[in-house]
Amino acid sequence: MNIVLRLAWRNLWRHSKRTWLTIGAMVFSNVLLVFMISIQFGMYGLMIDNTLQVFTGHMQIQAPGYKDDQKMRQTVPDIVPLASKLREAFQTDTIAARGWAFGLASSEERSYGIGIFGVEPTFEPHVSSIPGLIKDGRYLRDNDATEIVLGAVLARNLRVTTGDELTLLGSGRDGSFAAAVLVVVGIFESGVADIDRNFAEMPLQSFQDIFYMDGAGHQVVISATTLDEAELLRPGIVAALPLDSDLVVHDWDTLLPGLKQAIQADMGSAFFMYGILVILVAFSVLNTQLMSVLERTHEFGIVMSLGLKPGRLGRLVMLETAMMGLIGFVLGAIAGALFTSWFTVNGLSIPGMEEMAANFNLPARVYPQVTPWTMVAGPLVVFLFTLLAALYPALRLHRLHPVEAMRAN
Partner 1 sequence: MRLLPVLVRLAWRYLWRNHRRTIIMLSAISVGVWAMIFMTALTRGMVDQMIKDGVSVLPGHVQVHHPLFLDDPSVSNRITIGDAELARAFDTAGFKAWASRVKVPAVIASERESRGVTLLGIDPAAEREFSFVSYDDVEGRFLEGADDNGIVIGRELASKLETEVGKRVVLMSQDPENEIADRGFRVVGLFKANMPAFEESYVFIGKQAAQKMLRIGDTTTEIVFLADDYRNIEPTFKQVSARVDSSLEVSRWYEVDTYLGTMLKVMDGFVLIWVIVIFLALSFGLVNTLVMAVFERVREIGLMLALGMKPASILGQIIIESMLLLAVGLAIGDLLAWATIQPLQGGIDISAVAEGMEMMGASSVLYPKLYLSDMIRANVVVLILGFLASLSPAWRASRYEPVEAITKVG
Residues at the site binding partner 1, with contacts judged by CB under 8 A: 15, 17-18, 21-22, 24-25, 28-29, 32, 69-73, 102-104, 106-115, 156-157, 169-171, 175, 198, 257-265, 268-269, 272-273, 276-277, 279-281, 283-284, 286-288, 290-291, 294, 350, 352-356, 359-360
Strand partners, 98: 119, 219
Nearer to partner 1 (CB atom), residue 132 or residue 257: 257
Nearer to partner 1 (CB atom), residue 86 or residue 281: 281
Nearer to partner 1 (CB atom), residue 73 or residue 126: 73
Nearer to partner 1 (CB atom), residue 97 or residue 116: 116
Nearer to partner 1 (CB atom), residue 131 or residue 172: 172
CB of 304 to partner 1, least distance (A): 21
Name residues whose C-beta falls within 8 Å of residue 354's C-beta, 6 or more positions apart in sequence. 364
Pairing of strands 248-251, 177-188: unpaired
The SS3 of residue 149 is strand
Name residues whose C-beta falls within 8 Å of residue 83's C-beta, 6 or more positions apart in sequence. 95, 96, 97, 120, 123, 220
Over the range 176-187, which residues count as b (16 or more CB within 10 Å of their CB) and which as e? Answer: eebebebebbbb
CB of 312 to partner 1, least distance (A): 24
Helix (H) or strand (E) run with residue 284 in it: helix 257-294
- Burial label for 134, CB within 10 Å (0-12, 13-18, 19+), is middle
CB of 77 to partner 1, least distance (A): 19
CB of 21 to partner 1, least distance (A): 4
CB of 23 to partner 1, least distance (A): 9
Nearer to partner 1 (CB atom), residue 169 or residue 248: 169
Nearer to partner 1 (CB atom), residue 21 or residue 302: 21
Name residues whose C-beta falls within 8 Å of residue 346's C-beta, 6 or more positions apart in sequence. none
CB of 123 to partner 1, least distance (A): 27
Nearer to partner 1 (CB atom), residue 236 or residue 258: 258
CB of 2 to partner 1, least distance (A): 29
Residues 214 and 173 sit within 8 Å (Cβ to Cβ)? yes
Which backbone phi and psi does 201 adopt, to 5 degrees?
A: -130, 145
Rounded to whole angstroms, how far apart are CA atoms 337 and 49?
24
Helix (H) or strand (E) run with residue 118 in it: strand 111-119
Position 308: which residue type? Answer: L
CB of 378 to partner 1, least distance (A): 13
